[in-house]
Structure 1
């Protein structure tokens, strides 16, 4: 049997093969140059990021290069008793911001202050190893003083002048807070913002202790005996 031969089919097939052979090298060159361009762009981006990171690190180093290496040991001052310390809890970072719930007149601010001060009878704790005694906690003492000053502002706005006993308590609190602030020596580097009355510090990140964990611990060691503190002025 004679085999059928289609000249048109052969011609078109040969044409397609020729075009494919011609197109293939062009595609290869195009992909090569595209890959080369993309690699170049990626290299530039990575190089730029490395420069930016080095600039940021250098900037931070410039800020802190004058600070001596940190030493964690406590140097005990001769001639004074060692401190009585409660447990240490994991520290965390927190942004300081204006919290209106703690500000303003007493009736408005009372609920927020009550929440952070009422537990463990305002931080009064006792221990089985010291029967018949009770102790306070520094953080509660500090907040007690801030709350007292908060109330005094409210009274002053309404024209109420503290009597001699209250004034002495206020002076004690102001001095106690001064010593506490200087004792803690918060080393946070604060960003400055321009305000209506001049530059001010706000919305800065600080390293903080865990107040809620401290309250839980105080609750577990709460003093349940009788005590007298007629000028406490704390929320019940």
Structure 2
């Protein structure tokens, strides 16, 4: 259960991070922080899961808190950004019982194009990291513009996801001039073998278009998964899992 919670949360972490939309010239969105740039984030994921099997339901309250440090270590000749992300501290709380996060101290190395596409990764499966990045369009955007993206199936999440981003406006957050985006995530198909999975998420992302970094991220997600378990003797039992998560992530000093 904890692994499933971590996977779904990580998939949605960067898909979606008060509105004062003003007239603004179109801007080109790129990840382009200068070498040596170091940013720290505080992230909180809170939610519940309800698993129903054999006509019995079990509810679990989950909460994860972690502090991340992201550092740009270099930029190659093609303009790709080389950076590390370190999980500095964190706890996961299950039904009011906290335990240290197992991944404390883990370092993830990534080489990423300016549009968000992951070129190389170390310390984490590249496919998983690709899912956590927004892929920006190759032309400037303004308020009201939108673009589509997709997340391909993987062993942890065996169905494709469709993502739509919309520019809501521009505002200043923590001293950064940001574009405010809305993200909407939906599952493109529900069936994956013996698993029927439905995922929906909505979020707001504040991206500092001059500094080239994410400043703030808020996501609410819902997942319904129904799978059949072989009980033996030709008997099968349906297991219904429902998960609701709220993620908040932002820069800390």
> Shorter-chain-normalised TM-score: which range?
under 0.3
Q: Which has the higher contact order (CA 8 A, sep 6+)?
A: 1
Per residue, is there more strand in 1 or in 2?
A: 2
* TM-score, structure 1 as length reference: 0.24
Q: Which has the larger radius of gyration?
A: 1
* TM-score, structure 2 as length reference: 0.23
